[in-house]
Amino acid sequence: MKRKIIHVDMDAFYAAVEQRDNPELQGKPVVIGGRAKSRGVVSTASYEARKFGIRSAMPLIEAYHRCPQAIFLPPNLVKYRWVSQQIMEIFSEFTPLVEAISLDEAFLDVTGTERLFGEAVVIAKRIKKRIKDELNLTCSIGIAPNKFLAKLASDLEKPDGLVVITEDDIQSKVWPLPVGKVWGVGYKTAQRLEEFNIKTIGDLAGTHVDLLARILGNWGLEAHKLANGIDNRPVLPEREAHSIGHEMTFDVDISDKEILTRILLELSQNVGFRLRRAGLKGRTIVLKLRFADFKTITRNHTRLEETNFDDVIFEESLNLFQSNYSGQESLRLIGVTVTGLVKENEVSKQFTLFSDNDDKFEELYKTLDQINIKYGKNTIIRASLLNDEK
């Protein structure tokens, strides 16, 4: 049986939630990330703002120069997590095989569900309608036989699109696309490939793997497989995952440590949320850095006790970052992952001498989450997560 994978990507998620909740923002360029001219970066931008070239991970000061009339707002991650949870609950009604890869996107394996819900296209249409009717938001969906092609499809007709790619469509729909559409190929890598006249995914698919290995290193073989529509990775529900992580690839390489620290904070918060949502904790925090020359390093630290708290993940990943990044080279990707996962109710108390305090801290964290969800913008977060904007 051929796999049927759906990739759902919410349209300009953070900005769309703010526009939904404040009618005065509708139809206007909205930038989520912080105050205009501050040292932060853009988390997301509404489609009205994107017309001015504003994109994720862009410094806010540059976004301001591109569109001074834009409305700049700080991210309300607590609210976005709450909406994300509602979205994921909709997905879970159609299949137990849901792999959330961030707050605003997920893979669904709907292979063999036709008898219950209809063909994959029917399921996709029902998901889009549920999200629109219940949450007043839109999403773009891709359907394909594997994760790479499904994610590629969801990006072809944004916003509010629905695109199907079959194995027979690879030559006509996939190969003409620019090589930058391949996972892991950013601006600098695309430039390097173009030096060898590799400009489209089709060019990449037809290039000998030995040459790709010289250009891209060990990743060359994987890139060649993806370009040929080969991707055998399964959709892994979080409850079965051995690790949970989140990473961000930048459109433009970044070397500013303060900007990178803020991105690291957001990644840590996303990972913490996904861990708690899955009822998991982990002991090992892994930091991934990919440099402008495509050199990639991973560093990790294993704690004495498991955690799923944002601030702990951030503190550990920040220590790794400060120890392994000098700021002399630009980065094109940064990622945070937690491994060594166990279910919350299986966490051993023998790892710490302060179990009572740990229990109180856990209860406090749950209480803070409940307060934040209830009051939205009046967000309460731990002091270690606070960053003063300049």
CA-CA-CA-CA torsion sign (30, 35, 36, 38):
negative
Q: Name the strand (E) or helix (H) holding 92.
A: helix 77-92
Active site residue 105: yes
The pair of structure tokens assigned to 46 is: 């509404």
Dist CA 274 CA 102 (whole Å): 8
Dist CA 106 CA 131 (whole Å): 14
Catalytic annotation, pick one of 18, 48, 99, 105? 105
Dist CA 227 CA 221 (whole Å): 10
Number of helices (H) and strands (E), helices first, in the chain?
Answer: 14, 12
Q: Name the strand (E) or helix (H) holding 282.
A: strand 280-291
Residue type, 312: V
Residues 6+ apart with CB under 8 A from 249: 184, 186, 290, 332, 333
- 3 state DSSP class of 178: strand
Residues forming the active site: 105
